[in-house]
Amino acid sequence: MDAIHLQNPEQEKSEILKRYKALLRSCKRKMEKDDKAQIRKAFEVALEAHKEMRRKSGEPYIFHPIAVARIAAEEIGLGTTSIVCALLHDVVEDTDLSLDDIKGMFGERVAKIIDGLTKITGISEQSTSIQAENFRKMLLTLSDDVRVILIKLADRLHNMRTLDSMKHEKQLKIASETLYLYAPLAHRLGLNAIKTELEDLSLKYTEPEIFFDIEKKLKDTEPERKRYINKFIVPLKAELETEGFGFKMYGRPKSIFSINNKIKTKGVPFEEIYDLFAIRIILDSKSEDEKADCWRAYSIITDFYHPNPDRLRDWISTPKANGYESLHTTVMGPEGKWVEVQIRTVRMDELAEKGYAAHWKYKEVAEARENQLDEWLKRIREMLESSDENALEFIDDFKLNLFADEIVCFTPKGDMRTLPLGATALDFAFDIHTKVGENCIGAKVNHRLVPLSYQLKSGDQIEIITSSKQSPKEDWLGYVITAKAKSKIKLALKEVKKKLADDGREVLERKFNHLKLDFTVQNINEVANFFNLPSSHELFYRVATGSINLKNIKDYIEERNKRGGKKQGAKKQGSKSLESIVKEVRGSADMLVIGENMKRIDYKLSPCCTPIPGDDVFGFITINEGIKIHRVNCPNAIQLMSNYAYRIVKAKWTNQEMISFLSGIKIKGIDEMGLVNNITQIISTELNVNMRSISFDTNDGVFEGTIMVFVQDTNHLTNLMAKLKKVKGVLTVSRVDGN
Question: Does residue 427 carry a catalytic annotation?
Answer: no
Looking at residue 707, the DSSP 8-state letter turns out to be E
Q: Are 98 and 167 in contact (CB under 8 A)?
A: no
CA 464 – CA 458 distance, rounded (Å): 17
CA 116 – CA 111 distance, rounded (Å): 9
Question: Does residue 335 carry a catalytic annotation?
Answer: no
CA 201 – CA 208 distance, rounded (Å): 10
Instruction: Give the 3-state secondary structure of residue 283.
Output: strand
CA 165 – CA 214 distance, rounded (Å): 23
φ, ψ dihedrals at 26, nearest 5°: -75, -20
Instruction: Give the 3-state secondary structure of residue 699.
Output: strand
One DSSP character per residue, 150-189 reads HHHHHHHHHHHHTGGGS-HHHHHHHHHHIIIIIHHHHHHT
Tell me how long the chain is.
739
| Cα 329 from chain centre | 28
- Long-range contacts of 123-127, Cβ-Cβ distance < 8 Å, separation of 24 or more: 123/578, 123/579, 123/646, 126/577, 126/578, 126/579, 126/623, 127/390, 127/534
Of 12, 15, 94, 314, the catalytic one is 94
Handedness of CA 559, 560, 561, 566 (dihedral sign): positive
Looking at residue 683, the DSSP 8-state letter turns out to be I
Nearest to 409 by CA among 457, 374, 349, 481: 457
Of 32, 44, 48, 93, the catalytic one is 93
Cα-trace Rg, the chain: 30
CA 33 – CA 420 distance, rounded (Å): 45
φ, ψ dihedrals at 419, nearest 5°: -135, 155
CB neighbour class for 503 (10 Å; exposed up to 12, middle 13-18, buried from 19): middle
> 166's torsion region: left (phi>0), alpha (psi -120 to 50) or beta?
beta
One DSSP character per residue, 99-150 reads HHHHHHHH-HHHHHHHHHHSPP-S---TT--HHHHHHHHHHHHHTT-THHHH
Catalytic residues: 93-94
